[in-house]
């Protein structure tokens, strides 16, 4: 078996989807290329006084729209092939969701747990500095965000470093998204990817004919779900799915898994991990020695929310889930997908399902450019208008509204309400488009449908620019 290349898998998806379109081969070749790759090495001084050379990357896959956009991951598995593949997925994700960015991704090859907070800050700031030096970051150029192993704190350090070098740039804070709320972040960004996964899966299980084919009932209620990875995306996906009526029966982590057919309360599992350092030994749950074994358990929806290449041709034949919801990027390899599709497993692809993160990043970027919170202008106006409406209802009906009814009518939308509404709209619409494309081409394979749509949208940008007249 040849060595696995994540990037080759993504190119394979593009080729397969392109065969359903009539775009010239030159255009498809351009769409496939990873336009710029910046590989860097820089030293940092560790807390113990020793020096360590750090390997890092930023790949900009497509400049058909700028800025380019995508997270930065901290993981010991980071390599050029991975970063190129992830950058490419960002291109298609943004196109599919009508988020007007090209795709990019960064990575720092470190095992995070080996470094102190102080060392992580040094690494992050130095990485940001290297990006600045080569013009690989900026509100109009390339806008990073959190990914595996990073969060709001790293984004704050990056924004601060960038601002220090660009004190005359009015939009400096828009150089990165996923920042803390107190540092030009946006409500709802942390939960956004998981919330998007929930909206996407809720939409997927809402079509009676699709569910009948899978032997499932309509709706999330009672659906048995197994989640791999209880990081930010896995936790929030599981939480919103549970709130939406699904039962989380298994959670897999790197140190093992927990299983309870009666359901695991996700908030309680997270609390247990905060208390003990691990999800293992959670009350009443069965301990699974090897976390990945859980992927093969009977369930309705399997949500891999960790890293790529988790479902391979090796374990794919044993997967019993009816639906795989790709919350992670690239969790199912291309060879595995062929087996799963043959076995009738519906795959909701990453470029759609985890696009909630970048969608809300787009809102954050817009907020930074406008220098104002969403809803600030209209909130009071809406409130007063709604109050008049509530009064009119009362006088017309001759009945007093209850306090909760009145509150529900008059309260104007908060920034978080608006962000969540924009996210829901984006996820629901994209699913409908994807499903229609699948139907048009008589495809069960939703990934190909998603790529066809994305390729068509990217081609329009190239054609508009006159690059491929
Ligand atoms: N890292 C996330 C992703 O893979 C978010 C990227 C962003 O917000 O720019 O989609």
- Asked if the model's pLDDT at residue 323 lies above 70, the reply is yes
**Active site amino acids:** 105
177-230 pLDDT, tens digit per residue, is 999 999 999 999 999 999 999 999 999 999 999 999 999 999 999 999 999 999
Query: What is residue 464's predicted lDDT score, i.e. its pLDDT?
Result: 79
145 alpha carbon to ligand 1 midpoint, in Å? 6
Written as one string, the DSSP assignment of 324-353 is EE--SSS-B-HHHHHHHHHTT-EEE-HHHH
pLDDT value of residue 2: 64
Q: Which of 134, 182, 192 is nearest to 160 (CA)?
A: 182
CB within 8 Å of 176: residues ≥ 6 apart = 137, 143, 144, 145, 155, 158, 159, 162
Please determine, for residue 462, whether its predicted confidence score (pLDDT) is greater than 90.
Answer: no
Element (H, E) at 237: helix 232-243
Interval 150-174 mean pLDDT = 97
Report whether 236 contacts 191 (CB < 8 A).
Answer: yes
Are 126 and 164 in contact by the 8 Å Cβ rule? The answer is: no
**What is the distance in A from the centroid of ligand 1 to the CA of 29?**
24
Residue 1 pLDDT greater than 60, yes or no? no
71 in contact with ligand 1, CB cutoff 6 A: yes
pLDDT band at 412 (very low <50, low <70, confident <90, very high): confident
Alpha helices in 134-173 (DSSP H): 152-165
- Does 147 sit in the ligand 1 pocket, CB within 6 Å? yes
Same fold, 34-185 and 188-374+423-469: yes
Q: Where are the alpha helices (DSSP H) in 401-444?
A: 403-410, 415-440
How does pLDDT run across 337-381, given as a tens digit for each residue? 999 999 999 999 999 999 999 999 999 999 999 999 999 999 999
Please give the distance, rounded to the nearest whole angstrom, from the Cα atom of residue 139 to the centre of ligand 1: 15
Could you report the per-residue pLDDT of 238-271, keeping only the tens digit for each? 999 999 999 999 999 999 999 999 999 999 999 9
pLDDT on residue 292? 96
CATH top-level class of 34-185: alpha beta
Name beta bridge partners: 226: 250, 302
The two three-digit tokens of residue 172, written as one number: 């400096």
Query: What average pLDDT score do residues 449-467 get?
Result: 90
Q: Exposure of 36 by Cβ count < 10 A (0-12 exposed, 13-18 middle, 19+ buried)?
A: middle
Average pLDDT over all residues of the chain: 96
Whole-structure pTM value: 0.96
pLDDT band for 463, please (50, 70, 90 cuts): confident
Closest among 383, 405, 381 to 397, alpha carbons compared: 405
Tell me if 190 CB under 6 Å of ligand 1.
no
Fold adopted by 188-374+423-469: Rossmann fold (3.40.50)
Q: Which atom of ligand 1 is found nearest the CA of 355?
A: 10
Q: Is the dihedral of CA 450, 455, 460, 461 positive or negative?
A: positive
Residue 10's SS3 state is: helix
Cα 399 to Cα 281, 394, 409: the distances in Å are 55, 5, 15
Q: Domain residue spans in the chain?
A: 34-185, 188-374+423-469
Ligand 1 centroid, distance to 297 Cα (angstroms): 29
Residues in the chain, total? 469
104 pLDDT above the threshold of 80:
yes
Query: 321 and 299 in contact (C-beta within 8 Å)?
Result: yes
Any atom of ligand 1 within 6 Å of the Cβ of 322: no
Does the pLDDT at position 469 exceed 60?
no
């Amino acid at each position: 078996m040849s060595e696995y290349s994540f990037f080759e898998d993504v190119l394979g998806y593009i080729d397969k989807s392109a065969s359903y379109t009539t775009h010239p081969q030159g255009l498809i070749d351009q769409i496939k290329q990873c336009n710029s790759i910046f590989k860097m090495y820089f030293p940092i001084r560790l807390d113990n006084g020793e020096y360590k050379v750090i390997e890092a990357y930023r790949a900009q896959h497509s400049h058909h729209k700028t800025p380019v956009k995508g997270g930065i991951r901290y993981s010991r598995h980071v390599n050029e092939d991975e970063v190129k593949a992830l950058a490419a997925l960002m291109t298609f994700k943004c196109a599919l969701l009508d988020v007007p960015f090209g795709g990019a991704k960064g990575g720092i090859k470190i095992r995070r747990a080996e470094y102190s907070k102080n060392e992580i800050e040094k690494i992050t700031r130095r990485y940001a500095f290297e990006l600045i030096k080569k013009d690989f970051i900026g509100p109009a150029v390339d806008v990073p965000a959190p990914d595996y192993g990073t969060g709001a704190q790293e984004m704050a350090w990056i924004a601060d470093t960038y601002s220090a070098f660009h004190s005359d740039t009015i939009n400096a804070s828009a150089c990165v998204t996923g920042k803390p709320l107190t540092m030009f972040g946006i409500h709802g960004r942390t939960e956004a990817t998981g919330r998007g996964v929930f909206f996407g899966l809720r939409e997927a299980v809402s079509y009676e004919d699709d569910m009948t084919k899978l032997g499932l009932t309509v709706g999330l209620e009672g659906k048995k779900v197994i989640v791999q990875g209880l990081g930010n995306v896995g936790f929030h996906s599981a939480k919103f799915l549970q709130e939406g009526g699904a039962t989380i029966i298994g959670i897999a982590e790197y140190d093992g898994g927990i299983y309870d057919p009666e359901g695991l309360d996700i908030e309680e599992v997270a609390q247990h991990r905060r208390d003990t350092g691990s999800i293992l030994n959670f009350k009443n749950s069965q301990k699974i020695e090897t976390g990945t074994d859980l992927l093969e358990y009977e369930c309705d929806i399997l949500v891999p929310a960790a890293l790529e290449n988790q479902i391979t041709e090796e374990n794919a034949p044993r997967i019993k889930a009816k639906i795989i919801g790709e919350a992670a990027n690239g969790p199912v390899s291309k060879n595995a997908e062929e087996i799963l599709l043959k076995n009738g497993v519906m795959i909701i692809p990453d470029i759609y399902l985890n696009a909630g993160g970048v969608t809300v990043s787009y809102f954050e970027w817009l907020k930074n450019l406008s220098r104002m919170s969403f809803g600030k202008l209209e909130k009071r106006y809406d409130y007063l208008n709604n109050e008049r409406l509530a009064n009119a209802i009362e006088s017309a009906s001759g009945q007093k509204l209850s306090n909760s009814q009145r509150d529900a009518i008059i309260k104007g939308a908060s920034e978080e309400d608006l962000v969540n509404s924009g996210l829901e709209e984006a996820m629901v619409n994209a699913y409908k488009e994807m499903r229609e494309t699948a139907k048009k081409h008589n495809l069960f394979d939703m990934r190909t449908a998603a790529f066809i749509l994305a390729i068509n949208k990217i081609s329009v940008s190239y054609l508009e620019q006159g690059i491929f007249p």
